[in-house]
Amino acid sequence: MRASDSGDASIEIFPASSGGPTITLDNLSDNGLIILGDTLGNQSIILNAFDGSVTAKELRVSGSKQFVIEHPLDPNKEIHYVSLEGPEAAVFARGTARLINGEANIKLPDHFSLVANDQGLTVHLTPLSAASEGLAVVSKSTAAIGVRELRNGTGTYEFDYIVHAVRKGYEDFQVVRDKVEDPALKALAERERRTLKNATTNNKSNAGARETAGAAASESLNQPVDAPRSRK
């Protein structure tokens, strides 16, 4: 453990072996950061007690990922929403556009093309007019979507759209994988095993001590008592 004498209070907890995980409690007097990393300076998880945020390189959970808010109409209830899940690292853009004389060109946000891969792009359209002949996607990319009305229609009306894509860098995301034992869970299980073993050993030792003490007491009670000597 090392404490910093700088203006912002800081405590670093190092592992017994080099290269192992470290815990840094940083800016304790200000933001209250808890940083988990290694002795090489690589940060894996940052917990910010000031704004409640968690920054992590990867997040793997066995349950659901939820957000929870207070119910605005009932102080005794909460509202829980859960994240949508699927077999890919998907990103999306959605909105409402307008068809004019049977044609529309949807310009997607600049940031969408920075995070989305063109390959595997899918588009869903919903006309907002009962007179629509139907809509078709005639061109698509992460920058823009070209839309035309079917049967050479010349309608002018609004429609909803949603564009899905795979996040760049995650095109080869593996859904089914070989099971890899988590070293942290393994260490926790080993610690629990040792704790249980020590508790069992202590119980046996205590039981043995009680049996020995009980046997000694029983033997003492069974010893013959010398008769008192008579006075002459």
- The verdict on residue 185 lying in a domain is no
Last residue of one domain, picked from the residues 139, 166, 193:
166
- The verdict on residue 124 lying in a domain is yes
Number of domains in the chain: 2
- The verdict on residue 38 lying in a domain is yes
**Residue 149, domain extent:** 90-166
Q: Does the structure show a pLDDT above 50 at 5?
A: no
pLDDT per residue as tens digits for the range 209-221: 667 666 665 666 5
Residue 113 is encoded by which pair of tokens? Answer: 């093309």
- The verdict on residue 35 lying in a domain is yes
Average pLDDT over residues 19-25: 58
Q: Identify each DSSP E strand in 18-156 by its residue range.
A: 21-26, 33-38, 43-48, 54-56, 66-70, 78-82, 90-99, 103-107, 122-127, 135-140, 144-149
Kindly report whether the global pTM for this prediction surpasses the value 0.85: no
17 or 90, higher pLDDT: 90
CATH at residue 146: 2.60.40
Q: Are residues 140 and 99 in the same domain?
A: yes
Q: Are residues 156 and 97 in the same domain?
A: yes
Q: Are residues 36 and 104 in the same domain?
A: no
- The verdict on residue 231 lying in a domain is no
Last residue of one domain, picked from the residues 118, 134, 166:
166
Q: Does the structure show a pLDDT above 80 at 116?
A: yes
- Nearby residues of 104 by Cβ (< 8 Å), 6 or more positions away: 97, 98, 146, 147, 148, 159
Average pLDDT over residues 19-27: 58
- The verdict on residue 20 lying in a domain is yes
In percent, the amount of the chain with pLDDT more than 90 equals: 48
141 or 25, higher pLDDT: 141
CB 121 within 8 Å of CB 163: yes
Q: Are residues 52 and 95 in the same domain?
A: no
Least confident of 12-16, 111-115, 131-135, 187-191: 12-16
